[in-house]
Amino acid sequence: MITVFSMVIVFIALLIISYLIDGLRAISSKTNGKKTVEEKLEVEEKKDIAEENLNQENEEEVVAVIAAAIAAIQGIDVSDVKISSIKRIPQNTPVWSRVGRQEQIFGRL
């Protein structure tokens, strides 16, 4: 009898905790969802511009890092390394998977 009573209390407590979490999630989504359409468009445009600038900067940084790695492996000066072309290897992961990872990473920054 004590075991059954204890299990009922535990399940009731878990239900209460579940409803509290759902309530907090609903409250937080209401405060975050009050942006107007214009504000959302402005944010998207700013993100696009920032991504373009970041991609251009990243390409230069990637070339510099690759040149430094080659120079370190061969034991020569970086100015002596000549890179004629860099080819990216295609990713095996689907696009939606990569986008999801990027959203999680950029969401934490």
Asked if the structure places residue 61 within a domain, the reply is: yes
**Tokens 């992961």 identify what position?**
93
How high is the pLDDT of residue 11? 95
Buried b (16+ CB within 10 A) or exposed e, 30-58: eeeeeeeeeeeeeeeeeeeeeeeeeeeee
Asked if the structure places residue 60 within a domain, the reply is: yes
**Rounded Cα gap, residues 48 and 94, in angstroms:** 21
- pTM for this model (two decimals): 0.35
Number of structural domains the chain divides into: 1
Asked if the structure places residue 71 within a domain, the reply is: yes
Asked if the structure places residue 88 within a domain, the reply is: no
Tokens, residue 79: 């100015």
Side-chain-facing half-sphere of 70: CA atoms under 13 Å: 13
Residues 6+ apart with CB under 8 A from 25: none
Asked if the structure places residue 3 within a domain, the reply is: no
At 88, which amino acid appears? R
Q: Give the domain extent around 44.
A: 36-81
pLDDT in tens, 10-68: 999 999 999 999 988 888 776 555 556 666 667 777 777 767 666 666 777 888 888 88
